[in-house]
Structure 1
Amino acid sequence: MLVTHPFHPLVGRQLRVCRAVRRSGGLVFICTAGDGVTVTLPQEWTDRGPAPGRNRLAIDGLGALSALVDALMSRGVEARGGGSS
């Protein structure tokens, strides 16, 4: 399997897959990188994952991020007693 995540230290290296495991709703691969080193990689960080989109920031992801920020901001306001300064 090829590591494709651009910021992973093993990017471009072929690894031997020992097994695949479902974790947190996604597939991860447990691989050997040589010299007894074991690496766990999400499927999306390999050539076995879906092809990356043209743009790194997809509309769906930005929408989910916006909703998360809004939820966190409203929790912070509630925790401080509400209202604006």
Structure 2
Amino acid sequence: MSKATLLLLEDDIQLSDTVKQFLEYSNYMVYPAYDASEAKDILYEKSIDLMLLDVKVPHQNGFEFLQERRDLGDSTPAIFITSLNSAD
């Protein structure tokens, strides 16, 4: 059985590495991206089963990124992750 593939869009490198290690230990294939441009490149090159999206990332926030993907017809499931402690 193949591993589920995840896109992890998180600009905090230390947090991204920690989440990636945890998910890989749980038998997922994780492709980290540190900004929306990198995430788009990964989606172009790889088949992704789930997107984990940070809300605040450089150049395009996670909500804008997902809306753009939906406008392109991408129905890949997505979960938002954030370390924000209040609504901005």
TM-score (norm 1): 0.21
The structure with the largest alpha-carbon Rg is 1
Would you tell me which structure has more helix in proportion to its own residues? 2
TM-score (norm 2): 0.21
Would you tell me which structure has more strand in proportion to its own residues? 1
Higher relative contact order (CA 8 A, sep 6+): 2
